[in-house]
């Protein structure tokens, strides 16, 4: 049973009701980590009072958000309400951030429907006090196969700033060696090729990231049941570029707790939130599991494997479910 994968949790209310008794938090609760002072809030991140309670007197130097963007279902009305809703969490983020800080937002674009909600979100952001800094594309190793269109292998990441935050360029370097030559330039009478003049033999990630593997079930960091997990490598890169040790990093859509775990590893303090007690519990267990076993996820096991072992009705439910729906091995990013 230990290797029994959890099916997608977000659309399985019955499974979540089995797991709820094992969750520490209920709506409005905050878990405070006694060791490194991280916090996990279980609440709606658009509520000013809840986020003020989470932040107290403290300010973050980095926000890293991955909101749900279910573009399959968007009609015009839903699109407007998505933008209005986004405005509210951008506002709670703005008052949680220090004067010189950064905000990164993962967002999708529906190729079959005018790339929504990406342009609408960008237009909404133009009305705020944030400055746009970069439009990053992360190339997934795999995407949806199609014979009639370009295969979709991209994930978009928007980088905004408030004031003038620091940026550590060292975080930009990949482990991909420079292989192209060019840009000869004469320096002190000697003609030198550009790689001879540069500080690094490796290329920078720039705003097209080609060196990050999409999370799938064979990876140690995999968290079964979490449908929209972001790769630890990408999240660590953002944290290293746009925050310093002991800074506060916020993530209002915690889900599998990737930002929390990356902050733990990189000695930042993470204040995160999720509206769902099950995802809050998974986030907390993710750092506890890392502290106990040095593992970044559960690979093909899951965060509740011990409880499943001792709960027959939950075990039966999963067995029945598993025989009905073969869980997908690939993490997809449709929500
Ligand atoms: C796309 S997932 C985030 C994935 C995350 N970056 C990771 O690596 O695991 C979005 C999460 O936002 C949560 N969520 C949705 N609406 C919310 C709200 N209003 N306030 C807080 N969390 C919310 C969902 O429960 C879900 O877990």
First to last CA, the chain: 28
Confidence (pLDDT) at 329: 41
- Rounded CA-CA distance 284/301 in Å is 17
Are 242 and 167 a contacting pair, CB within 8 Å?
A: yes
- Alpha helices, DSSP H, located in 220-297: 232-242, 258-265, 277-293
119's CB contacts (< 8 A; 6+ apart) are none
Give distance in angstroms: CA of 252 to centre of ligand 1: 7
Please tell me the distance from the alpha carbon of residue 197 to that of residue 195, in angstroms, as a whole number. Answer: 5
- Kindly state the tokens that stand for 58: 């403290």
The per-residue pLDDT for 88 is: 97
**Alpha carbon of residue 216 to chain centroid:** 15
pLDDT computed for residue 333 by the predictor: 36
Q: Which residues line ligand 1 (CB under 6 A)?
A: 44-46, 66, 68, 226, 228-230, 252-253, 255-256, 258, 273-276, 279
Closest residue by CA, ligand 1 atom 13:
253
> Residue 231 Cα, ligand 1 centroid: separation in angstroms?
15
pLDDT tens column, 214-272: 998 889 999 999 989 999 999 999 999 999 999 999 999 999 999 999 999 999 999 99
> Which ligand 1 atom is nearest residue 44's CA?
20
DSSP state of 54: H
Among the atoms of ligand 1, which is closest to the Cα of residue 64? 6
Q: Ligand 1 pocket test: pick from 227, 239, 255, 256 the residue with the most ligand atoms within 8 Å of its Cβ.
A: 255
| Alpha-carbon distances of 316 from 1, 145, 225, 319, rounded to whole Å | 11, 34, 17, 5
Both tokens of 271, joined, read: 């204040």
pLDDT in the model for residue 93: 98
Report how far ligand 1's centroid is from the alpha carbon of 292 (Å).
25
Residues of the chain with pLDDT under 70: 1-4, 70-77, 142-145, 183, 195, 197, 325-335
Quote the pLDDT of residue 74: 57
Distance 68 CA to ligand 1 centre (A): 6
From 56, 31, 101, select the one nearest 260 (Cα to Cα): 31
Whole-number Å distance between alpha carbons of 11 and 286 = 21
The residues with which 249 forms a beta bridge, in sequence order, are: 62, 270
* Cα 158 to Cα 63, 65, 125, 195, 293, distances in angstroms: 12, 10, 10, 30, 34
Reduced to 3 states (helix: H, G, I; strand: E, B; else coil), residue 131 is strand
pLDDT score of 334:
34
d(CA 85, CA 224): 28
Whether 236 contacts 258, CB under 8 Å: no
Widest CA span of the chain, in angstroms? Answer: 79
pLDDT of residue 70: 64
* Residue 296 structure tokens: 């970044």
Domains of the chain: 13-167+210-324 (3.40.50.150)
> Which protein residue has the closest C-alpha to ligand 1 atom 16?
275
Closest CA to 254 of 221, 222, 225, 276: 276
């Amino acid at each position: 049973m230990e290797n029994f994968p959890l099916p997608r949790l977000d659309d399985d209310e019955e499974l979540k009701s089995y797991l709820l008794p094992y969750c520490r938090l209920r709506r409005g609760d905050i878990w405070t980590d006694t060791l490194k002072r991280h916090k996990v809030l279980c609440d709606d991140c658009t509520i000013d009072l809840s986020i003020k309670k989470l932040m107290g007197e403290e300010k973050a130097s980095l926000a890293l958000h991955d909101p749900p963007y279910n573009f399959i279902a968007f009609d015009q009305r839903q699109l407007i309400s998505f933008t209005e809703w986004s405005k509210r969490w951008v506002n709670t983020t703005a008052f949680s951030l220090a004067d010189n800080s950064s905000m990164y937002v993962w967002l999708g674009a529906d190729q079959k429907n005018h790339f929504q909600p990406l342009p609408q979100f960008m237009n909404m952001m133009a009305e705020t006090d944030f400055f746009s800094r970069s439009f990053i594309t992360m190339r997934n190793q795999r995407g949806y196969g199609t014979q009639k269109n370009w295969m979709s292998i991209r994930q978009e990441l928007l980088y905004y700033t408030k004031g003038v935050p620091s940026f550590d360029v060292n975080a930009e370097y990949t482990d991909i060696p420079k292989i192209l030559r060019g840009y000869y330039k004469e320096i002190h009478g000697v003609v030198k090729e550009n790689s001879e003049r540069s500080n690094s033999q490796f290329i920078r990630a720039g705003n097209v990231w080609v060196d990050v593997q999409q999370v799938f079930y064979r990876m140690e960091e995999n968290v079964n049941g979490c449908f929209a997990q972001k790769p630890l490598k990408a999240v660590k890169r953002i944290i290293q570029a746009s925050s310093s040790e002991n800074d506060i990093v916020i993530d209002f859509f915690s889900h599998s707790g990737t930002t929390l775990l990356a902050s733990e590893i990189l000695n930042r303090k993470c204040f995160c939130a999720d509206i769902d007690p099950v995802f809050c519990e998974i986030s907390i267990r993710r750092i506890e599991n890392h502290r106990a076993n040095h593992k970044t996820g559960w690979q093909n096991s899951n965060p509740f494997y011990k409880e499943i072992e001792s709960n027959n009705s939950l075990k039966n439910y999963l067995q029945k479910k598993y025989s009905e729906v073969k869980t997908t091995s690939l993490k997809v990013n449709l929500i």
